[in-house]
Amino acid sequence: MNVMVRELVADTQRVKLNGALNLSRAEDVVQRFRDLAEQGVARVVVDLAEVPFMDSRGLAALIAGFKLFGADARNFRLVGLQDQPRLVLELTGFDRVFGVTVGQARAGVVLSPWQS
């Protein structure tokens, strides 16, 4: 899994993941979130447009990132969800925790990631 980080605005980073978000890759993703938090990044947009599969460890990695950024959907957003990862979030109820909307999940684009 590649993890690419790019600054969107001064205190917001876009983390783009690709490939399966599973047991073998989850810890790398969590470490990237830790690194960003230690650097003082306030907000993260996680782009999952190229993540076709997510298991429970992948979900745990996203939850860890969410907690690192204050457990606030305004500070940690998921965008670009494909069907299987979106289903995992819906079945577990975490779509409401992360503030994922159907429009964001299908479009994969956020013009204003901090809108409620």
- Sheet bearing 2-9, strands edge to edge: 2-9, 12-18, 43-50, 76-79
Q: What contacts 42, CB < 8 A, 6 or more positions away?
A: 11, 12, 69, 75
Distance CA 44, CA 14 (A): 6
- Per-residue pLDDT tens over the stretch 35-68: 999 999 999 999 999 999 999 999 999 999 999 9
* Helix, strand or coil, per DSSP, at residue 52: coil
Q: What is the pTM of this model?
A: 0.81
- Per-residue pLDDT tens over the stretch 16-31: 999 999 999 999 999 9
Q: Domains in the chain, please, with CATH?
A: 2-107 (3.30.750.24)
Distance CA 46, CA 94 (A): 15
